[in-house]
Amino acid sequence: MKKKILVTGGLGFIGSHTVVCLHEAGFEPIIIDNLSNSQMSAMDGIKSLIGFEPTFVNANVNDKEVLAQLIIDHKPEAIIHFAAFKAVGESVEKPLMYYENNVVGLISVLEVMKEQVISNLVFSSSCTVYGEPDQVPVLETTPTKPAQSPYGATKQMGEIILKDNAAWCKTQCLRYFNPIGAHPTAALGELPLGIPNNLIPFLTQTVAGLRNELTVFGNDYDTPDGTCIRDYIHVMDLAEAHVKAVERLVHNKQEENFEVFNIGTGNGFSVLEVIQSFEKENNINVPHKIGPRRAGDVVKVWADTTKVNEVLGWTAKRGLDEMMRDSWNWQLKLQNN
């Protein structure tokens, strides 16, 4: 019988790709998602890729009764907890909403796990916990910096809570760098609500004619071309990292109950390099201008991936060109629907 994995936020951007990869790796994903930042169309994409609709419950993870019943009914081996808000700017405007969803939500999940005696968890953390690092690339041991936003604070608090519960809950804490791209078939991708804040959805919407122009936020940073540097990672690589983390948990291979991994490629690219790569790969012009810096932006951050390569046995396989191609194909698919 297939091992079941409960995926909270399984219809979101990273969650939906992970559901597909879990199925391909021989697991049975069970989804709980309240559609607060996702859409049922993601289920159509999942269905088209795996051939059937996985079990899905439309509920908030804070609803402990529903979560407990789902666990009683399906007895999952592990939980991947994606369900959380992720917009930095919005978190500054609505901090309580972020603490409620991201921190109280995690506590609810843990309480139900403890009650139902489930002790395997994969947690979505973020490179945002490093803040503006003193040195790049960052290692998992690089000291974290005070959070720049309530969103960042919720990720740091999540890590602390999980570390404090490591006596009974085995956790794989994955620090994502900048997830972009889409499924290579364009069956799944990111569905940003409203005007996107993040670079790639804004860029693809601009090229598609939905926005006038992309603004590059500052070109006077201390980097080779003056624009900020990030470690962009293909969402399929990221999804595959979750499968590795789940396998490590269910096969009891953890060396410590609380383990942290950087999930990046190990390569940093500037905003202008991303634009150039998009233009070259898709043979299309990206209308853009240089604007002022965006408040709160880190200048440069990319991952040291030695630990995740060696210990988790995972390496990112897809390059920036592939990320650009798949992101654009996804935008084209959205346009044609």
Closest CB 21 distance from ligand UD1, rounded Å: 19
Is 38 a residue that touches ligand UD1 (CB under 6 A)?
no
Closest CB 275 distance from ligand UD1, rounded Å: 9
Identify which range of 13-21, 35-43, 160-168, 208-216 contacts ligand UD1 by CB under 6 A.
Answer: 208-216
Do the beta carbons of residue 293 and residue 217 sit within 8 Å? yes
Closest CB 90 distance from ligand UD1, rounded Å: 9
Closest CB 218 distance from ligand UD1, rounded Å: 7
Which strand (E) or helix (H) includes residue 277? helix 271-282
Residues facing residue 232 across a β-bridge: 178
Is 275 a residue that touches ligand UD1 (CB under 6 A)?
no
* C-beta of 291 vs 313, nearer to ligand UD1: 291
SS3 122: strand
What is the distance between the alpha carbons of residues 88 and 80, in angstroms, rounded to a whole number? 22
Is 102 a residue that touches ligand UD1 (CB under 6 A)?
no
Q: How far is CA 229 from CA 87, 122, 207, 299, 302, in A?
A: 19, 27, 22, 6, 8
Q: How far is CA 85 from CA 38, 67, 155, 163, 320, in A?
A: 11, 19, 10, 21, 26
Reply yes or no: is the peptide bond before residue 137 cis, omega within 30 of 0.
yes
**Member of 137, 150, 152, 266 binding ligand UD1 (CB under 6 A):** 152
* C-beta of 64 vs 95, nearer to ligand UD1: 95
- Is position 151 annotated as part of the catalytic site? yes
Is 103 a residue that touches ligand UD1 (CB under 6 A)?
no
Residues designated as active site: 151
